[in-house]
Structure 1
Amino acid sequence: MSFSSPAIINNNNSNNNSSSNSNNNTIPSNNGNWQGDLLVKLLLRDRREKAFTDFVNSYNSLVQKLGNFADRNAQLEISEKTATEKHANLSLEVEKLRELGSPVNQKRTAELEQQIQTLKDERAELYKTQGVNAQRLLNLNDVLRNHEEQSKKQQEETQRLTEANQTLTNKVDLHFQVLREKDITIQLLQDELSTLQLELGKIDERMKDLEKENGQLLQRWLKKMNEEAEKMNEANLFYESALEVHAKALEFQSGVVIVDKEFTPAPKSTSLSTTLPSTSLPPPASSPPSTSPNDSNNTSSGYVRARSRSSGPVIIPTIVSRRLTPHDGEIHTIQASTDGNYFATGSADKTIKIFDSTSGQIRQTLSGSIQSIMHVSFNNTSEMIAGASNDNAARLWHLKTGRIRLTLTGHVGKVYSARFNGDSSKVITGSHDRTIKVWDLQKGYCIRTIFSFSSCNDVVPLDDEGTTLVSGHLDNNLRFWDVRSGKDIKELTGIHLGQITSVSVSPDGSKVLTNSRDNTLKLVDLRTYDVEQTFKADGYKTGANWSRSCFSPDGRYVVAGSVDGTVFYWNTQKSKLERTLKEHHNPICGVSWSPHGSQVFSADKDRTVIIWSGGPR
């Protein structure tokens, strides 16, 4: 039974190979229907995905067979050893039998020798089969290694394609965001167009009403003039008859007949409706009065000069007298009061805090806003404060009571600026909705809406009455407005390469200071509308879209905060950087110079407020 085992194993291998080949080559024929096509495709898919299954199975089968052969070899070696021992014993017996010379023993010896030779042949065949299997195993290892290398390359290619796909996906998302922003811009333009159309319709209606009212007034005036003309005619007739009676009385008393009596009665008045020219119509009541060029309060550019409120010598503060962290949210704005006794901050925690400028103690906390406070400003008496908010409204607080006096609603976008005019009768607000609104505080509603064609980051009145304004916008432009007509006086384009974040008027009212995201400050002459000076420095970068700079009370210096927490001072007379101070560690959102001249207040986004004071003159 041990002699026939190798042949049986070889037959099994051949049968397995033939069955495998027959299975691989058996593919259902196409019967012309979709079931057959689907089955063919599934079989092709299985063949493609299971391309290495036969190799693996063959390898495992060879390994198993090699183990079996090894065991069989061990058994055969044991059998060989046993047979060798038996052969030795038989040889001894043969020798003995040869010595004895028995024919039976000779026959037995021949049989044993034949068995030994058969075992030797079988062992040689096993060694040969083992060598063939080892060579096949090496070949399969090489094939497996090649397939592993191909699989690794395919994985790397898949990873590369995945990264390329992710990059393209990010680009597609970016394009979608750009399209979404453009859609938002288009929607804003459409809303603005609708607003303009609505305003135009209202203006047309108002014009029609004014024309109708003008016609009625004209008719009433003509009627009144006709009545007065008729009364004058009656008076003339009465006067003429009285003179005739008086003349007859004189003639009767003197007995003299007056032959030629010179009498020239007053001319009869005719109807005014036939003599009044059409050009004599009075102007509409809404026409703004013209500004007299001889007004002693006007500058050569037509703007009223603001009066300097400086009450002390102006020095550059260099000493940190107080460091405060009063708010729970990011600070957006800081402003000194007009009397210099207080300063205020507005924050993302929806509150305004009022501080004593000397001690730094909190005097009041004003609440009522629904969103972040973006800008605060005091009125000329420091009795009220205005706050612009992200909830599309501006609010006025009375500081004595700490309560809201008015809430100004009407904008459809975030309000970035709110300022009083000189006599505190009006508040001017600038908004992200591309409008500037003028609010009458006595009436409590908006009396003028100006369409600025770009988001307004800051707006400042140029005179005490608030009839002329200057505003800085998202489109990098500086615009001047006539409130009475609602039209722009001048638009300065190209002075900045980034959006204008703040606008300030010099204490003498002759210049305007602008701060921009292009990391420069510009000084514009209001008489010529030319840029007189440009302030910039290494390391200065504007920290936010609402960062605010300001003049010193005497106009000799300008101050601004940088993104790295440094405060920069420039000299306007020498057009150079005067000093830098670094105490903040986060972007500075705003600075404000006290009217006393010896203090500067600065605030950064990390809720830190610093009071600067002292220093050389």
Structure 2
Amino acid sequence: MNGSLSNPFNITYPTAVQTSLHSGALFARFSPCGRFVAAGRNDGTAVVWDLDTRAAVRWLEGHVKGVTSVDWSRHSRFVLTASKDWNVVVWDLASETDPPKRHATVRFDAPVASAAFHPRNSQILLVLLATGDAYVVDLRKSQRSRVELCEPQEDDDEEAQMHRPRSAITVARFDPSGKHVFAGTSTGYVLVFNTRTKTMVGRHKITDKISAVGSVRGIEFAKSGRRVVTNSTDRTLRQFNVPTYPVPSPDGNAEWVESEWEPTHRFNDPITKTAWHAMSYSPDGEWLAGGAADPAAHKIYIWDIANDGQFASTLDGGRETLTYVHWHPSKPSIASTTNVGNILIWHVPVQERWGAFAGGFEEIDVNMEYEEKEDEFDIEDEEEMAKRKMKEEEQEVDIIGLSDGIRKANGVRVNGEHDEDVLWAEEEPDEDVEEWKMKILIEDDQDGI
């Protein structure tokens, strides 16, 4: 199970700590490109680490109170930081200064519990306040708005509405497509909102015959968006299949999916009944990592989703208590943070086997005299080379690229028609393009980072 990673699509889970970054971090998240890690600190700063050089390459100094969350834009150019000082700041890493210039600052009237970029446009933000209010903030010039996500009241009796307690939103996440916002509440519900219209399209009551669910503390998605896992106050992680939601009607009539959610899998520690600080899926969705809230140890539990959610292993990171865990976007690597601010980067130890580089290659323990074959280093015969090129030119090339039933317009792949939610998100696109470059800043030795 823990062999070498020969196929990039054959994702396994890490087993050992590769390096430790001393950053004073409360939590850390990989960038979508996988090269950088952004860490939020309790002193109001955030740090961007380059994993290739194991160095801090940017300090994001803009808050006066602790940072509560960080997020990356889809091509890693922009970093978002949210703080207890009521501010959300978007930083542009393409700027040539350190700290980078502020691309945008959004202020609220309460401490910010979390914030995130829309997966398709960094000018659309999802913000959750410590008061339990969630907002979709649109910074685009043509769509500038700040809309609160509210659960509709169904009671006909106005007096009943006044006495009905309002469920506070405890966690809010975009799904991987960005079309929907999933919000967990203090009463054990998951509310689903359409991002474009801000209307509710789903409401699910988490039910469990084994234990009372309690408040929803965390929501994370598999990259495909077809599975979601929740963390509740009853110290259980639950996985659900994501249903299909109705498209909001143009006339504004509210229609939503109302259902009780039965988990497909439950994940917990039956011995110690430990709580969970965070959880994260592997890139292929076949593994789930859960960061245990164990006060005496740094433990990450790994479950095999592809094998019916069976428990696979426990990673032990020492005595420093775990506070956060995040899986690398494309490799079997995990970043976990400790209560003293260290970031542990986990990997799969690989023993080099030179015999895998060429057929017939043999590994030996002692030096041996090598006998060269007569034609071993001969240049390829020109006649054979010409025949090979002729065969390559005769191969048919698909210049259409997509079948008749599928078209690609403005980067939107649809079946016979445009996806209105995706087109809305890609209106007035941001500056986060794949070709951007981060300038390497070298400081004097006396200034050190």
Cα separation, 2, equivalents of 1:522 and 1:360: 35
**1:514 to 2:230 alignment:** yes
Query: Which of these residues, 458, 466, 471, is aligned with residue 171 of structure 2?
Result: 458
Q: Any idea what SS the aligned residue of 1:315 has?
A: coil
Q: How does 1:231-270 map to 2 (within 5 A)?
A: none
Aligned residue number for residue 490 of structure 1: 202
Question: Per-residue CA shift, 1:126-159, capped at 9, x if unaligned?
Answer: xxxxxxxxxxxxxxxxxxxxxxxxxxxxxxxxxx
* TM-score, length-scaled by structure 2: 0.62
Cα separation, 2, equivalents of 1:411 and 1:573: 44
Cα separation, 1, equivalents of 2:272 and 2:311: 12
- Amino acid of the residue matched to residue 422 of structure 1? R
Aligned residue number for residue 315 of structure 1: 12
Aligned residue number for residue 614 of structure 1: 348
Cα separation, 2, equivalents of 1:409 and 1:614: 42
Aligned residue number for residue 361 of structure 1: 55
Aligned residue number for residue 28 of structure 2: 334
Cα distance, 1:370 vs. partner? 2.1
Aligned residue number for residue 604 of structure 1: 338
Aligned residue number for residue 183 of structure 2: 471
Cα separation, 2, equivalents of 1:505 and 1:404: 29
Root-mean-square deviation over aligned CA pairs = 2.5
Cα separation, 1, equivalents of 2:272 and 2:101: 42
**1:449 to 2:183 alignment:** no
Question: Counting strand residues as a fraction of each chain, which structure ranks higher?
Answer: 2
- Amino acid of the residue matched to residue 525 of structure 1? N
Cα distance, 1:479 vs. partner? 1.6
Query: Which of these residues, 530, 542, 549, is aligned with residue 275 of structure 2?
Result: 542
Distance change >3 Å, CA 501–CA 427, structure 1 → 2: same
Aligned residue number for residue 551 of structure 1: 281
- Larger Rg, first or second structure (1 or 2): 1
Cα distance, 1:533 vs. partner? 1.0
Query: Which of these residues, 539, 544, 566, is aligned with residue 299 of structure 2?
Result: 566
Cα distance, 1:313 vs. partner? 4.0
Q: Where does structure 1 lack aligned partners over 5 or more consecutive residues? A: 1-309
Cα separation, 2, equivalents of 1:312 and 1:355: 26
Cα distance, 1:363 vs. partner? 1.4
Q: Any idea what SS the aligned residue of 2:20 has?
A: strand
**Paired residues of 1:584 and 1:604 also in contact (CA < 8 A):** no
- Amino acid of the residue matched to residue 438 of structure 1? V
Cα separation, 2, equivalents of 1:540 and 1:559: 16
Cα distance, 1:609 vs. partner? 1.2
**1:591 to 2:329 alignment:** no
Cα separation, 1, equivalents of 2:83 and 2:101: 16
Question: Per-residue CA shift, 1:350-384, capped at 9, x if unaligned?
Answer: 11111123443211111101211111110101000
* TM-score, length-scaled by structure 1: 0.46
Cα separation, 1, equivalents of 2:220 and 2:231: 9
Query: Which of these residues, 72, 91, 97, is aligned with residue 378 of structure 1?
Result: 72
- Amino acid of the residue matched to residue 314 of structure 2? T
Cα distance, 1:475 vs. partner? 3.2
Cα separation, 1, equivalents of 2:101 and 2:134: 25
Cα distance, 1:598 vs. partner? 2.2
- State the structure with bigger RCO (CA 8 A, min sep 6), 1 or 2: 2
Q: How does 1:343-422 map to 2 (within 5 A)?
A: 343-401=37-95, 402-422=100-120
Cα separation, 2, equivalents of 1:411 and 1:445: 18
Cα separation, 2, equivalents of 1:481 and 1:421: 15
Number of positions where the alignment pairs a residue of Structure 1 with one of Structure 2: 301
Q: How does 1:26-425 map to 2 (within 5 A)?
A: 313-327=10-24, 331-401=25-95, 402-425=100-123
Cα separation, 2, equivalents of 1:434 and 1:470: 14
Cα separation, 1, equivalents of 2:282 and 2:328: 8
Identity %: 19
Cα separation, 2, equivalents of 1:446 and 1:437: 10
Cα distance, 1:586 vs. partner? 3.7
Cα distance, 1:388 vs. partner? 1.7
**Paired residues of 1:504 and 1:549 also in contact (CA < 8 A):** yes
**Paired residues of 1:501 and 1:514 also in contact (CA < 8 A):** yes
Q: Any idea what SS the aligned residue of 1:573 has?
A: helix
Cα separation, 1, equivalents of 2:54 and 2:144: 36
**1:533 to 2:265 alignment:** yes
Q: Any idea what SS the aligned residue of 1:438 has?
A: strand
**Paired residues of 2:112 and 2:130 also in contact (CA < 8 A):** yes
Cα separation, 1, equivalents of 2:215 and 2:320: 21
**Paired residues of 1:519 and 1:542 also in contact (CA < 8 A):** yes
**Paired residues of 1:418 and 1:430 also in contact (CA < 8 A):** no
Distance change >3 Å, CA 541–CA 359, structure 1 → 2: farther
**Paired residues of 2:88 and 2:112 also in contact (CA < 8 A):** no
Q: Where does structure 2 lack aligned partners over 5 or more consecutive residues? A: 1-6, 152-165, 245-260, 352-449
Distance change >3 Å, CA 418–CA 456, structure 1 → 2: farther
- Amino acid of the residue matched to residue 533 of structure 1? H
Cα separation, 2, equivalents of 1:372 and 1:454: 26
Distance change >3 Å, CA 335–CA 587, structure 1 → 2: same
Question: Per-residue CA shift, 1:257-279, capped at 9, x if unaligned?
Answer: xxxxxxxxxxxxxxxxxxxxxxx
